[in-house]
Amino acid sequence: MVQISLPKNSKIQKGKYYKDKTGSKNLRKVNVYRWDPSTGENPRIDTYEVDMNNCPSKVLDVLNKIKNEIDPSIAYRRSCAHGVCGSCAMNMDGKNGLACTKPHSEIKGDINIYPLPHLKVLKDLIGDLSTLYRQYESIEPWLKNSNNPTKTENLQSKEDRAKLDGLYECIMCACCSTSCPSYWWNGDKYLGPAVLLQAYRWIIDSRDEERKERLKKVADELKLYRCHTIMNCTNACPKGLNPAKAIASIKKMLATS
């Protein structure tokens, strides 16, 4: 059996235990990954006893309660709290998702919360998304149509508009890309499911004039063909989208064009 030795400074240690002070009989233990680069200490898992009688229904509500009432030092991203911005993407109960849409009642036993896998951790539950955004920028995610007058609508048929369903809804939360083993090992070159889904959204748009050029940009062994159809991306998407299907459609277009 292969044994892997982790660097000493990467081993997760047992952290602080925050005992309930309310006297509630309806408690949940919440284990949260903590790491502060300014301290030079190893990452740790802090445990919080949370009174669930006075806590709304989502995992983000649990984190907000911890931050507001127990430990203000905990760091995580959040904004809209309605599954629109993608800020609160994290790993909960071993699965990637949005903390604002994940009911804590669906998690049995202790609630375990970690940052999205693969990403460099900036602090606590905050992952570094700079590489993902650079890759997103590289596909030029905007409409390219030089013939369209600036003072009129750029119309398309209902049939062509329907082709964008299941694509435009992506909120770039990175749940899919950070669940993909191919992206873990080749994240600097492989674009990953989130960016390729966005690429396909513009490739298939009937109003765009740069389809051939867009296909050429992603037609690379590492940018596109590192996808091995593992399907983790589709299983992880909190919006119910299918990045694997979009990637397969790009491959098909390249093979038949």
CB 166 within 8 A of CB 125: no
Residue 34: CA atoms inside 13 Å, Cβ hemisphere, count?
Answer: 21
Q: How many CB atoms lie within 10 A of CB 68?
A: 9
- Per-residue pLDDT tens over the stretch 179-199: 999 999 998 999 999 999 999
pLDDT for residue 6 is more than 90: no
User: What are the structural domains, with CATH classification, of the chain?
Assistant: 10-127 (3.10.20.30), 130-145+158-256 (1.10.1060.10)
- What residue spans of the chain are helical by DSSP H? 59-65, 130-138, 158-162, 181-186, 192-203, 211-218, 232-236, 243-256
C-alpha–C-alpha distance, residues 216 and 192, integer Å:
17
Question: Sign of dihedral through CA atoms 104, 110, 111, 117?
Answer: negative
The pTM score is 0.91
Please state the rounded mean pLDDT for residues 122-142. Answer: 96
- Per-residue pLDDT tens over the stretch 15-71: 999 999 999 999 999 999 999 999 989 999 999 999 999 899 999 999 999 999 999
